[in-house]
Amino acid sequence: MTNQLVNACKEYILAETYGPQQEDLLWPKFYKEIDNRVVTTDAQGRSRAGQRRGKGKDGKEPEDESLFGRLKACLHLYVSVVINS
């Protein structure tokens, strides 16, 4: 089961980091997201983007399809597996 989760997370991340011609876009996307987060952060370091995004009607946070959101989802999945095993 662990290998299946690792492979699923790997494919989930690769889907965001590979371009149409299979070029590796990990670092360019990573730096672009850092730049975007710096621009959307106020002087105290709080993210303005996070303030706009709230929990939905079902109490769940909306999915973040950015590279950071995908990495965060994989880490949450990993933690939940480790805690429950």
Summarize pLDDT for 26-61 with one digit per residue, the tens. Answer: 899 889 988 887 777 666 556 555 544 555 566 666
Strands (E), 1-85: none
**Beta carbons of 12 and 70 less than 8 angstroms apart:** yes
DSSP H helical ranges for 18-62: 26-39, 48-52
Position 48 scores a pLDDT of: 54
Position 41 scores a pLDDT of: 62
**Beta carbons of 73 and 12 less than 8 angstroms apart:** yes
Whole-angstrom Cα Rg for the chain: 15
User: Does residue 83 surpass a pLDDT of 80?
Assistant: yes
Arithmetic mean of pLDDT, 67-75: 88
